[in-house]
């Protein structure tokens, strides 16, 4: 069986197993996100193998489909090398190059960098006595146009907040008027000396507000509005995955 056949089979297996196993991948992506400035010829993603045996690695991009496979089309980037072998303890640089197709120029575009890791087959696996698990990791890739009117560091301060009530209780809604994606690490409301934290997110999409988009946060412990302005403290992640703390006000 050749490398391409192995990846074709293990990709389908991995899509089922990702998020359903506590086992950890051994090839580490040395960043939590990738920013691709429009004028750059390419960007690099650095990988490091923590494994004790060789592994096969495949990389590709998708536009948000968590079940995507390396055969996904319509992505305006080339990833090099797409398939390679990593020796124990070694590092590898993967290059991502924009192919020039039209993308929005007034706001960021979001893609996802995928890494599929397949351990070398053991004799037991070849005899059908052992299940070989492939591991898939995904991180965000932001394609950033060069002519945006202000820097990404100002985006959290431009967010617009308001309190809301729904069948699920009290909450917050945030509107993002900026051309940047904003990722939240924590959101709390301070009222009468008490802190009310947002409900734990069930998916990554509940942690990020898109350019021109809205996002809602449930606050299970917050009581009905007392017709007072709410103080909000929130943490966002910058281009390097570092937390930054902000505060804002929300009208009643």
Spatial distance between the Cα atoms of 24 and 235, rounded to a whole number of angstroms: 27
Query: Can you give the pTM of this predicted structure?
Result: 0.85
Residue 6 has pLDDT above 60, yes or no: no
Question: Do both 133 and 177 map to the same domain?
Answer: no
- Host domain of residue 198: 152-250
Please tell me whether residues 123 and 207 are part of one structural domain.
no
Residue 10 has pLDDT above 50, yes or no: no
Highest-pLDDT range among 4-18, 200-214, 216-230: 200-214
**CA dist., res. 14 & res. 113, Å (int):** 15
Q: Among 172, 222, 35, which residue's Cα sits nearest to residue 113?
A: 35
Per residue in 14-57, pLDDT (tens digit) is: 443 443 333 467 899 999 999 999 999 999 999 999 988 899 99
Last residue of a domain, one of 80, 109, 144: 144
Structural domain tally of the chain? 2
Strand-by-strand arrangement of the 33-37 sheet = 33-37, 135-144, 109-119, 55-62, 83-86
Q: CATH no. for residue 115?
A: 2.60.40.10
**pLDDT: is 4 or 107 the higher one?**
107
CB 170 within 8 A of CB 222: yes
Confidence of residue 76 (pLDDT cuts 50, 70, 90): very high
Confidence of residue 229 (pLDDT cuts 50, 70, 90): confident
Any alpha helices (H) in the chain, and if so which ranges?
A: 3-17, 123-126, 155-158
Which two tokens mark 147? 């002519």
Whether residue 134 is found in the same domain as residue 187: no
Q: What is the DSSP string of 147-202?
A: T-SS-GGGHHHH-EEEEEEETTEEEEEEE--SSS-EEEEEEEEEETTEEEEPPPPS
Give tens-digit pLDDT for 165-211: 877 788 999 999 999 999 999 999 998 788 999 988 877 888 999 99
Q: CA 81 to CA 235: how far, in whole Å?
A: 36
- Residues 214 and 237 placed together within one structural domain of the fold: yes
């Amino acid at each position: 069986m050749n490398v391409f056949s192995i990846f074709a089979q293990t990709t389908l297996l991995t899509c089922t197993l990702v998020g359903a196993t506590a086992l950890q991948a051994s090839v580490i992506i040395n960043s939590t996100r990738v920013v691709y400035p429009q004028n750059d010829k390419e960007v690099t993603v650095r990988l490091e193998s923590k494994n004790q045996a060789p592994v096969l690695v495949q990389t590709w991009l998708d536009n948000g489909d968590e079940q995507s496979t390396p055969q996904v089309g319509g992505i305006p980037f080339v990833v090099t090398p797409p398939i390679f072998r990593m020796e124990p303890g070694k590092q590898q640089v993967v290059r991502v190059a924009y192919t020039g197709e039209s993308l929005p120029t007034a706001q960021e575009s979001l893609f996802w960098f995928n890494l599929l890791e397949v351990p070398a087959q053991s004799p037991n696996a070849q005899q059908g006595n052992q299940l070989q698990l492939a591991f898939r990791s995904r991180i965000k890739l932001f394609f950033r146009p060069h002519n945006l009117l202000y820097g990404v560091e100002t985006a959290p301060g431009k967010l617009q907040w308001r309190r809301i009530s729904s069948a699920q209780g009290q909450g917050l809604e945030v509107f993002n008027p900026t051309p940047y994606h904003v990722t939240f690490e924590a959101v709390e409301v301070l009222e009468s000396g008490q802190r009310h934290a947002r409900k734990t997110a069930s998916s990554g999409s509940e942690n990020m507000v898109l350019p021109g988009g809205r996002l809602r946060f449930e606050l299970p412990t917050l009581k009905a509005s007392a017709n007072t302005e709410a103080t909000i403290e929130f943490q966002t992640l910058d281009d390097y995955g570092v937390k930054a703390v902000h505060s804002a006000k929300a009208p009643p």
